[in-house]
Structure 1
């Protein structure tokens, strides 16, 4: 059994960071949440541009995502900040998060008589949470508790040649250690979904994978357009990718060679260990946010063209297969998989290096995006405003 030093949570999960999250239940409370977090060192405010004007499954998905983010193992405790009249009821969100055993507080602007009173009370509560979090200590934990999200953005041909296969090799090591890997970006499986479906543990899992790809294409068709109108992106095309299928064939390499265990809706927690697929868009920030809501403690993110994107809850390890990009954007990148092209390293050797980086970050090593303070978040939507 491989062990890592991490934080044991009340629900049995394992965190690799010890965050106090200031979580706005609605966009109308987002600035107040940011102001509270700005006053209390040791907190992080999540960006939320939704929370009201939503109905049905769209409203439910936002609430489920909020709750999933609050329940992420990297979060010690949560301060929910609400307005009071939103669809995503702040007290209900707080109660659902608290069911995991975390300490949770809630402040509501309308109940407290305005933002100044809310900031004052929020700062007091957040300070208490941070002080309690500071008493937590890392203890030996089984690496099988790791849940690793994988993502790619700003792809170019080196992504499919070097970076994604190397990450796939590392992901096979995560699975071999008993952990979980979440693959995402349904749009970037289209044209290659049959290859992953062949590795499904049961026919219904393979069919579920094909179904989310069909549904994603149908969404675009219902708007009178095609996914191929925006995928590959202009940057992908300038980088040398020509078709969605070509991009997908490179993207799927992040999945390694492990069997596909299940297909998850956006933001849902895996129910099985090993490789799983989450139905997300190709938009990086929406996709990573969904996987973190599903419980991923860290993300391995490949990029050929380079990107600074991070996450407020989970550290993001940036891997590029392009040596020129690594030289040009060294401030934003953690691993140079372009050594495969320049130095003749094998994919397996680079996969081992990325696996070691995953373990180091799990034990506290800061990623470049963490050091620079990048903490983007954005929720996917399945409906329109009302």
Structure 2
């Protein structure tokens, strides 16, 4: 018999079987010179979202593939009801290819080309017309109850301080375990900020292949910097991290690894790749806040937990981001941006597990429709991890 107190949330079942916690219509620009037109459509049609970016043309090889995978991943994320793909027409990332791949998910998707429609104004008009129809269709979709096994929860930390590894990160680790135990998926990211703590994750890998992959991605990240003739540690920890009390990348990594909880590491996936297994998953991303956030959302995360000791406004255009303060003074100072305070652990008024339960409860509320601070402020950040030059 199913337990009566099984954690639940209210979401939207999609055609591909996945469940969304938001019901957006996404205006997806495939090239940087289409982003302003996409933004104009969002200004005209309520219920639409988009993002500004600098990608989409003169990209080749793995860099092209990663950008393409990210575009498609944003479109097929279950938080999106339908997609208007907006392209220029002559770019490397052809809009029709992106649209065709998104269409495989079964959701509504249509293509608008600025060149084919006779310029910016005509493309905006056509895109707005399509978007308005999709928004009305989306508004008729009702939320239904689901359990947490349907969730992919991204985790990240940014603007870390000396409290991060003592309060918010281990509390998120508790939540990660709770998500996994409920049958869901928790994503650990930011490979750069796991350098020095990789052995802890490798020891928890489900098999030797996964453990080996842990060391491989760490070495690859180090090698990228060495190929450029630089040391990662000259930029990480950042000046803000140092001012916040962190002394080295390794110390920062040990704190960041706490977000992973204690459950076995099931697999290690590429940037913007959808997990093939449930449980704890490591996505290979850089430490850059926006790029790792984008990768996890493109990989299917419906919601993200973001801890910070220095404070951050970061948000996503399609996924709610719950921002968790590591210390009480910053939470009180940046109340416009931070959703929850884990500084109570440092204050001695709550335990790590009590804060973890509070975060877990907030996930249920946000997944069911409660807005986060970044959503209220329309903080629609987006950035793709580029792994090659522009030609």
Query: Do the structures match in fold with TM over 0.5?
Result: yes
| 1:5-32 Cα shifts (integer Å, max 9, x gaps) | 1100000000000000000001011111
Corresponding residue for residue 58 of structure 1: 63
1:188 Cα deviation from its structure 2 partner: 0.3
Where 1:111 maps in the other structure, the secondary structure is coil
Where 1:112 maps in the other structure, the secondary structure is coil
| 1:263-295 Cα shifts (integer Å, max 9, x gaps) | 000000000000000000000000000000000
CA distance in 1, matches of 2:348, 2:190: 31
1:4 Cα deviation from its structure 2 partner: 1.8
Corresponding residue for residue 123 of structure 2: 118
Q: Can you give the 5+ residue segments of structure 1 that lack an aligned partner in the other structure? A: none
Alignment of 1:285 onto 2:286: no
Alignment of 1:273 onto 2:278: yes
1:47 Cα deviation from its structure 2 partner: 2.3
CA distance in 1, matches of 2:38, 2:134: 15
Q: 2:266 aligns with which of 241, 261, 268?
A: 261
Q: Can you give the 5+ residue segments of structure 2 that lack an aligned partner in the other structure? A: 1-5
1:345 Cα deviation from its structure 2 partner: 1.4
| 1:286-336 Cα shifts (integer Å, max 9, x gaps) | 000000000000000000000011000100000111111011001111111
Alignment of 1:11 onto 2:16: yes
CA distance in 1, matches of 2:164, 2:27: 35
Q: How does 1:1-386 map to 2 (within 5 A)?
A: 1-386=6-391
1:49 Cα deviation from its structure 2 partner: 1.4
Q: In angstroms, what is the RMSD of aligned CA positions?
A: 0.8
1:373 Cα deviation from its structure 2 partner: 1.2
Where 2:85 maps in the other structure, the secondary structure is strand
Where 2:274 maps in the other structure, the secondary structure is coil
CA distance in 1, matches of 2:102, 2:44: 23
CA distance in 2, matches of 1:46, 1:361: 22
CA distance in 2, matches of 1:384, 1:213: 22
CA distance in 1, matches of 2:286, 2:333: 28
CA distance in 2, matches of 1:311, 1:331: 16
Conserved in 2, the CA contact under 8 Å of 1:361 and 1:367?
yes
CA distance in 2, matches of 1:121, 1:294: 29
If each structure's helix is expressed as a fraction of its own residues, which one has the higher value?
A: 1
1:110 Cα deviation from its structure 2 partner: 0.7
Conserved in 1, the CA contact under 8 Å of 2:8 and 2:364?
no
Question: Runs (4+) of structure 1 moved beyond 3 Å?
Answer: none
CA distance in 2, matches of 1:163, 1:7: 29
1:142 Cα deviation from its structure 2 partner: 2.5
Conserved in 1, the CA contact under 8 Å of 2:294 and 2:384?
yes
1:48 Cα deviation from its structure 2 partner: 2.6
Give the structure-2-normalised TM-score. Answer: 0.98
CA distance in 2, matches of 1:256, 1:313: 26
1:181 Cα deviation from its structure 2 partner: 0.4
| 1:176-224 Cα shifts (integer Å, max 9, x gaps) | 1100001100000000000111000001101111110100000000000
